[in-house]
Homo-oligomer: A and B are copies of this chain.
Amino acid sequence: MPRLDDDLVSALRFDQNGLIPAIAQQWDSGEVLMMAWMSAESLAETLASGRACYWSRSRQQVWRKGDTSGHIQKVRDIRADCDGDTLLLLVEQTGAACHNGTRSCFMTQLTEAGARPADDTAHSAGK
């Protein structure tokens, strides 16, 4: 992954808790895997290691994704949105992104059919 541009990073808008939402997308399939939060520290760690590193709001600490599970995310690119207040990470996901063991965290369809596992194919760009 290329090094981040310091000026661009400093222009990011972290929220009142010092966090910015980061969407992780599998770079080749387009599957949206998860959304988590980054602190400036975890963003710097992501940059230094080339592995996605978030801020755990429940544990209030830096969370190097995959340290426990092995399900790391190698970061290929990072994009900011037009407001500079959301990040999009294009990643190579090893194994399951979700702690429940599914590839993506977005497995619940909010339909009248009730809570059922979403069709995996629908997460992969409708294919």
Contacts and interface: CB of A to CB of B under 8 A. Distances in A.
A106 B82 CA distance: 6
A36 to B, nearest CB: 9
A93 interface: no
Interface in A73-105: 77-84, 86-88, 90, 98-100, 102, 105
Nearest to A34: B81
A69 interface: no
B88 A2 contact: no
A113 B82 contact: no
6 contacts: A8-B115, A21-B21, A78-B110, A80-B106, A81-B108, A90-B126
Given A2-B113, A80-B108, 17 more contacts: A2-B111, A3-B111, A3-B112, A4-B110, A5-B111, A23-B35, A29-B30, A30-B126, A35-B81, A77-B122, A79-B118, A81-B106, A82-B102, A83-B105, A84-B108, A90-B122, A90-B126
In the complex, the 3 A-B pairs of residues with the closest C-beta atoms, listed nearest first: A30-B30, A30-B125, A81-B105
